[in-house]
Structure 1
Amino acid sequence: MNIKVLFLLAGLLAVASGMVREGWFETRVDHFNPRNQDTFSMRYYANDEHAYRNGPIFVIVGGDWAIDLRYLTEGLFYDVAYLEGAFLFANEHRYFGHSLPFEDAMTYHLDFLTVDQALADLAEWISYLKTTVVENPNAKVVLLGYGHGGTLANYFHQSYPHLSNGVWVSSGPAEAALTLPSFFEVLGENIGTHGSRDCYNTIFSGFLVAQNLIALGQSDVLTELFHLCEPLDTENPLEATAFLLGLQTDIQREILHLRNTNSTSNMCEQIEGSDTDNSLHALNVWFAREHQFEECVELSFSDYLAPFVELDFETEHLQNGHRQRLYVQCTAGGLFPTSDSLYQPFGSQITIDFYVEVCREAFGDWIDEDFIRRQIQSINVRYGGRQPRIENAHFTHGSLDPLIGSGILEDVSDSAFATITPNTFFAPDLESIDEELDSPELIASKELTRTLIDVWIFKDFEPIHGEA
């Protein structure tokens, strides 16, 4: 069974058992225009099974996906909430899941899908939780965010320091950038280290051969070899890049989906066991096995673009956040993975030009490279990139997470720490401490987070003294 389905079922069971309760918070569509008083309902969930009456508030900051209930009932944050007698809450990011300001995702309806609006949602909601839900305006607040939720948690703690006392950011990008060449570099390092150098070289050579065939106009060869649904238009750079990016994405998905190095080892064993000296054929044997139940493989530009141009929030693609996530990339965060670096095995044709055209096709001609650069500069100026002025923070990363290149990897102050756990992937420290399965480095990272949260909660705590 798909691991996401298991997490969803676990969340539904938690809701059904009464441990987790759903809530809705009415918030402004536009927090910064007093003439616009329109509102929408933001979904959130709460778990107070271990909360003391005057206990702290733990908030799992919603990221660019529908709300995830898993860590309201298990994991390290839940464990610490039990120890601290904390209330646990999780919110859903505007425009994702069922927290929808508008009925459809037309481009002009996405105007309010911004970092600042999302942070203002959080600010008003957390204030509401303190005063109305837990009825303790002085409650200490600790934030957890991972992925884009980690980015927002970091920015929120800087922007609204009076509303949060500490923040734990797991695999959260901090510095916006137009491109992220290190994304492919980390994948390549994983292949060479946990697969083999021969596997790395086969993929490296296979992509170069594919690019050469594209340059020579050998459309028929590639169309037949990879069993494409539509003939590859080698004269169109967008079509050629979409094809190469499709191959790369398949490899990336295989490496990352289980979040352990066995996936890479198994993939490389299959590629190396293809019994051919032709690198492109060896790559294709593995690729064909991945797509063996499909009549043909869709790797055209229109196929790549399809998830980003749908407008109905009820469709699978928008429920998974594809269009919304791209909009944030195109208007704020960037971080488009490109093959500009020599230290990766995926050729050289996946460039920023492709992604800019995707943004234009999805949202309009008002987006170009200069626009994206200006937006990125604005974000970094306001929030400090990798050198934020921040206190009471723990930034954690797995060394094999391709997003690590945009994260905070070194301590930034005497109360804001960074920890990298070797040989781990995205957000490796969210689970409970496992003395048998966790590496010593991972246990140390989790224990530091647990200690820091305790410090943040009891910092400036003054005990009640009895009369002498």
Structure 2
Amino acid sequence: MACTQLLLLLTCLWLSGSHAFTHRRFGGKPEVLVMVQDRWFTQRLDHFDGADTRVWQQRYFMNDSFTQSGGPVFLMIGGEGAANPAWMTQGTWMMYAEKMGALCLLLEHRFYGKSHPTKDMSVENLRYLSSQQALADLAHFQTVMTEKLGLGNRKWIVFGGSYPGCLAAWYRIKYPHLAHAAVASSAPVKAVLNFSEYLEVVQDSLSRNHSGCPETIKIAFDTLLELLDYKENYIKITKDFYLCELLVISSEMDRAFLLDTISEYIMDIVQYNNDNREFEGVKGGNKTIQVVCDIMSNESIGSPYDRYAEVIRSILKAREEKCIEASYHQFLQDMSDIRWEGSASSGGRQWMYQTCTEFGYFQSSDSISQPFSGFPLSYHVQQCTDVYGKGFTLPVVNGAVEQTNENYGGLNVQSSRIIFPNGLIDPWHALGIKMNLSSDLIAFPMQDAAHCADMYPSRPEEPPALPAVRGKIFEYLKEWLQL
């Protein structure tokens, strides 16, 4: 799993964590001026050891501009990156908050952003990084803030997208006395060791409007594999794909890392196809499946390999990236840096630790029903060993994944008042809830929609399913809050 792929699952709430004045107009009403500033909460380090009295400062944000007496409390759950204050004034949940008179809070996930529970990210300290500790953080935060802010019996609704979507569902399951309801967007609630289905959905999504697109990509990738067999081609590959350093292949891990890295650019386009993340500061949103497949079908550019290289170059330009870091040696060096100011401290080292100790989610090329090859499950698990130590073997990682499903139930959700929106373009929907489980465990599969798409601000270009789903979510929340 390369650095970029470590953030493929990742929360819909990451990027800049700085505070700022933000103007936002809602529903034609006068402009709302909100000061989004860092706030700090004294959190317990270990919720499961009563003798451990150590505490640390966890960052959160608050927007009380819509709060009405007796209104609900909306809690957005942070995930595997810095919590983005842009969400405190934008996004679908803000539309709900205005209409429902909600107080809005966003709690940053431990070990991400500015929320540093320990002096560094050594393996010894990372043992305090887990979804169970994060859920306990939410519970303690809610309990203390209810008393501190005098919120009384107000009902709390939790929101999250991607991994935080899982946390939203699991918080409702594990703490039903605290969370009244949850909206778990694009939540892969089933942990899997080998998530080979991810690339199967990528292939299906690529072929929706361009039936030949996956096959052309496969031809291009096969050509790259052939070129890698001869060292004299390394200069050409370095130039074609704008690698930051001259390609060096001295092991199977080096080879797999390059292939994984090159494939991730297409995977990322599919996962976030035609989304609306610009308000978060995301660049390159104009690169879509349509654009990628148009290039791949353009024979005037050259061979499928040439077209694939052109796709990568166009994505780099749109994102304002100068080159691709494709050195496994550099990757290990970055990921092994335990300092908070290290190059992987924005989330790479932390999230990979969670995949190795809880979720798996390894997006391997093991399936034959997809266009890529060369990065099998063994490659992903080997990274766990290379970064965190010899104890992270396949049986250990697989056992951790099984334990996660035993703890939370996987797809066998036993609860109430949870909504599961999932975009069907998004590969992560393969691990999510795609059909209603009961009258109040509601699934919203959204045709042509991407990862967390229901959470973003609306726009005319978005898939037709999104406005309807947003409206239905609002109606369910109103019913459950008895508004």
Counterpart check, 1:43 vs 2:59? yes
Q: 2:112 is paired with a residue of what secondary structure?
A: coil
Q: Any conservation in 2 of the 1:223–1:231 contact (CA below 8 Å)?
A: yes
Matched, 1:224 2:236: yes
C-alpha distance in 2, partners of 1:397/1:30? 33
Match of 2:428 in 1: 403
The residue that corresponds to 1:250 in the other structure is 265
Give the counterpart letter for 1:449 in structure 2. I
Look up the SS of the partner of 1:112 in the other structure: coil
Q: 2:447 aligns with which of 409, 422, 426?
A: 422
**In 2, distance between residues paired with 1:431 and 1:250?**
22
Aligned residues: 448
Alignment deviations for residues 311-345 of structure 1 (CA, whole Å, 9 cap, x no partner):
221345312x1111111101001101011112211
Q: Does 2:363 match 1:330?
A: no
Counterpart in the other structure of 1:204: 218
* Aligned match for 2:382, one of 354, 357, 382: 357
The match for 1:299 is 326
Partners of 1:218 and 1:390 lie apart in 2 by 56
Instruction: Give the TM-score of the pair, scaled to structure 2.
Output: 0.86
Pairing of 1:125-136 with structure 2 (within 5 A): 125-133=141-149, 135-136=150-151
Please name the residue that 1:52 is paired with.
Answer: 68
Of 406, 409, 417, 1:381 maps to 406
Q: Which residue of 75, 81, 84 maps to 1:65?
A: 81
1:107 to 123, 130, 145: 123
State the match for 2:175 in structure 1: 160
Give the match for residue 344 of structure 2: 317
Aligned counterpart for 1:31 among listed residues 47, 50, 63: 47
How large is the RMSD of aligned CA atoms in angstroms?
2.7
Deviations 1:39-90 (A, max 9, x none): 1011111111111232211100111111122232122211111121111100
Q: Which residue of 2 aligns with 1:466?
A: none
CA distance in 2, matches of 1:128, 1:420: 36
Give the structure with higher Rg (CA).
1
Find the aligned partners of 2:99 and 2:310 in 1 and give their Cα distance: 52
2:434 maps to amino acid:
L
How far 1:402 moved relative to its partner?
Answer: 1.6
- Higher helix share goes to which structure? 1
Which residue of the partner structure matches residue 111 of structure 2? Answer: 95
Equivalent of residue 365 in structure 2, options 339, 363, 376: 339
1:116 offset after TM fit, Å? 1.1
Residue 73 of structure 2 aligns to which amino acid in structure 1? I
- Higher mean alpha-carbon deviation, 280-289 vs 385-394, is at 280-289
Deviates more, 1:16-25 or 1:289-298: 289-298
Q: Secondary structure at the match of 1:14?
A: strand
Say if 2:160 is the partner of 1:145: yes
The DSSP-based 3-state class of the residue aligned with 1:429 is helix
Q: Is 1:122 the counterpart of 2:138 in the alignment?
A: yes
Structure-1 separation of matches of 2:258 and 2:299: 22
Greater Cα shift, 384-393 or 76-85:
76-85
CA contact (8 A) 1:232 1:239 kept: yes
Give the 3-state SS of the residue equivalent to 2:445 in structure 1: strand
CA contact (8 A) 1:210 1:222 kept: no
CA distance in 1, matches of 2:66, 2:222: 57
* CA spacing shift, 1:297–1:458, aligned 2, 3 Å: closer
Counterparts in 2 of 1:345 and 1:327: CA distance versus 1, 3 Å: same
Checking the alignment, whether the CA contact within 8 Å between 1:242 and 1:304 is kept in structure 2 is: no
The secondary structure found in structure 2 opposite 1:275 is helix
* CA deviation string 1:339-397 (max 9, x = no partner): 111221112x2111111111111111110111111111111011110111010010001
The answer on whether the counterparts of 1:7 and 1:70 sit within 8 Å (CA) in structure 2 is no
Identify the residue that residue 279 of structure 1 maps to in structure 2: 304
Where 2:38 maps in the other structure, the secondary structure is strand
Contact 2:19 2:38 in 1 (8 A): no
TM-score by length of 1: 0.88
Which of 372, 376, 379 in structure 1 is aligned with 2:397?
Answer: 372
1:12 matched to 2:17? The reply is no
Tell me the CA shift for residue 177 of structure 1.
Answer: 0.5
Counterpart amino acid of residue 312 in structure 1:
R
Instruction: State the SS of the aligned residue for 1:127.
Output: helix
CA distance in 1, matches of 2:299, 2:262: 17
- Where in structure 2 are there 5+ consecutive unaligned residues? 1-11, 24-31, 276-285
Q: CA deviation at 1:273?
A: 2.8
